[in-house]
Structure 1
Amino acid sequence: MNNTLFKGLQILEMLAYSSQPMRLTDIANNLSLVKSGTHRLLQALIESRYVVQDKQSGKYSTSCKLIELGSAVLPHLALKQQAEGIMQQLMHETAESVHLSIQNQHDVVYLHKVDGPAPIPFYTHIGGRVPLYCVATGKALLAYKNDFFIEKIKQNLNPRTSNTIINATQLEIELKEIKKRGYSINKGELKEEVYGVAAPIIDKKGNIIAAIGLSGHSERFTTKTINKYAGLLIQAAQSITGLPNEHDQSANLQRLILSW
C-alpha cells in the first residue's frame, strides 16, 4: 500500500474510534508520525471532507462523510449476504460462474462472484468494472435507466470485441427487448468466447438495485441453455429480495422460448 495513503488511513481510523476530538500532537505521537507530515495529511482529509477541525480548540475529529459512506455500503453488504446462498445454488445447478453486479456511473461493478468449475480466466473479478453496455448484468441494469442516462451511454459506445453493440439504434432496440422480456444476453460482447445471461434485481419499492447473471464459454450457451438460465435467473432475482412472482413463471418461460 502507498505509504502516504496508509498513514492517512491510520489517522482516519484513530479519529473514528476516538471518543473525543484530538490534538495534532497527540495524533502524531500515538501513530509515531512526524508532526509536519501529520498536519499535511489532516489538511488533505479536511479538504476531502473526511475530517473537521474545531476553530476554537484546534482539535480534529471525523465528519459525517464516514456515516454517509457507511450508509452507502451497508445495503450492498446486505445484498451480498442475501444473494450468497442463491448464487451458490445457481452455480451448482448450472456449473457456470455467477455474478452479482451493481451500477456505478457508466460502469457495472462486480459486487460478488461465485466461480463455476470451468471459469474463464481473467474474465471478471470482485470489484472489477466494465462498461454497462457490453455485459449481461450491465445491460440488465441499463435497460431500466432513464432516457437521459441511456442517451449518454449511446454517445460513448466503443467496441471491446467484434460483437460489441456500438450502434446506438441497435442498443436502444435491445434495451427495450430486455425490459420487455425481463432478462439480458451477452453474446461475446466483452470477450468473444464468453456468453452470459442476467436478470435485474428489484427491491420492494420497485427500484432496480442490482443484477444477477451467469457466464461461461459460448459453446455451452446454446439457445436451450440460455432459455433455461433466463428462467432460473428471474426466479433467483425475485428470491433475493423476497418478492412474490409478479408474473406466472410458466408464462415467463413461454416468452423466453418465443423470443428465440
Structure 2
Amino acid sequence: MRATPAAGERTVLGRIASVMEAFNDGHKVLSLGDLNEHTHLPKSTLHRLADQLCQVGWLERASGGYRVGMRLFELGNLAVEGSRLQEVALPHLQALAAKVGMAVQLAVLDTVDVVYLERVMVGPLRLPTRRGGRKPAYCTALGKAMLAFDEEAAQAAASARMPKCTPRTIVDPSALRTELQRIREAGIAFDRGEAFDNLVCVAAPIRRSGRAIGAVSVTGLAGRMRWNTTTEAVRGTAAAIWNATYSVQGAAGAWT
C-alpha cells in the first residue's frame, strides 16, 4: 500500500500517472477498490479518470476492473523500438552524411505524423526540425516513404485535413494516393519543397516486407541535391539499417 499521495499527484497529470503506475506491481486487472488502495484517490475521481483513460485507449475495461490498454502498449513499443533503431542506425546515418555531404535524418511513423529520432548535420545548413519533433507525414519524404507501406495510416492521412506548408505541398487526397502508389512501386520518396521552401529531400523506407519500421532521408538545398546518386545512397543505407537491426535482434531474413 502506498503512503499519502505526493504533491504532484494532486494535479490531473499526477493523478493519471498514479493510476497507471498502480499496474507496475504485476497486477493485470485492477478494480476501482484496488486502484483506491494503490493511489488513495477518491473512487469518484478514479471512476472519472478510468473512463477518460478508456476513451483514449490507455486503459481497457476487463472482467473485474481495468487493464492496460493497447494504445499504451503501442506507445511503449514505439519508444522501445525507436530507441533500438536509433542506436543501430546512427553509424549508418553518419556514413551516409559523410558520403553525400548533406543532412541525414531518421524517423518513425506515429499515426499520421513523422517523429524524428535522429539527425546528422553536415555543413552550415540547419534544418527546421529537431530530434523528438513531429511533422505531418503527408508533406515529408520520410512520412510518404512510410505511409506508402501502411494502408491504414495512408487512409487516415488522406482523410485528414492537409493544409499547405508551401505552394508545392500535396493537399488533394487523390493526388496523395497517386503519389503513395508511385512510392510503393519505386521504393523511394521525394519531397521537392513540399514541407519547407527551398529544402528538398530523398527518403527510403526501412523495411523488407509489410510496414516500414522507420525511414531514412537526405535533406538539402534544392540547388545542391544530386537526385540520382543520393537516391542510390539512401536506398543502400535503408537496407544496411534493416540488416543491422535484425542482426542485433538475431532475426533471420536480411535484405539481399
Provide the TM-score with structure 1 as the length reference: 0.68
Give the aligned partner of residue 217 of structure 2: 213
Q: 1:5 aligns with which of 4, 13, 20?
A: 13
Q: Runs of 5+ in structure 2 lacking a partner? A: 1-7, 244-253
1:1-260 correspondence to structure 2 within 5 Å: 3-13=11-21, 15-19=22-26, 23-29=34-40, 37=45, 40-42=48-50, 44-45=52-53, 48=57, 50=59, 55=64, 62-63=67-68, 65=70, 66-67=72-73, 69-71=75-77, 73-105=79-111, 107-117=112-122, 118-132=124-138, 134-144=139-149, 146=151, 149=154, 153=158, 158-166=163-171, 171=176, 174-203=179-208, 205-221=209-225, 225-242=226-243, 243-245=254-256
Q: Which secondary structure state, in structure 2, belongs to the residue aligned with residue 244 of structure 1?
A: coil
Take 1:169 and 1:41, find their aligned partners in 2: how far apart are those partners? 40
Following the alignment from structure 2 to structure 1, what is the Cα–Cα distance between the partners of residues 196 and 218?
14
SS at match of 2:213: strand
- 1:182-216: CA deviations, max 9, x gaps? 3222111111121111112213x454332211112
| Unaligned runs of at least 5 residues, structure 1 | 246-260
Shift of residue 144, structure 1, vs aligned partner: 3.9
Measured in 1, the distance between the counterparts of 2:218 and 2:103 equals 6
- Residue 158 of structure 2 aligns to a residue in which SS? helix
* Cα distance in structure 2, aligned partners of 1:151 and 1:52: 26
- Structure 1 pair 64/121, CA: closer, same or farther in 2 (3 Å)? closer
Residues 35-67 of structure 1: per-residue CA shift (max 9 Å, x gap): 764564355446655276875xxxx77436455
Give the partner amino acid of 2:167: S
Aligned equivalents of 1:167 and 1:62: distance in 2?
40
Greater Rg by CA: 1
When residues 8 and 239 of structure 1 are mapped into structure 2, their CA distance, relative to the original with a 3 A threshold, is same
Task: Note closer, same or farther for the CA distance 1:191–1:71 as it changes in structure 2 (3 Å cut).
Answer: closer
Q: Distance in 2 between matches of 1:154 and 1:51?
A: 27
Q: CA deviation at 1:111?
A: 4.0
> Is the 8 Å Cα contact of residues 91 and 114 (structure 1) preserved in structure 2?
no
> Percent identical across equivalent pairs?
23
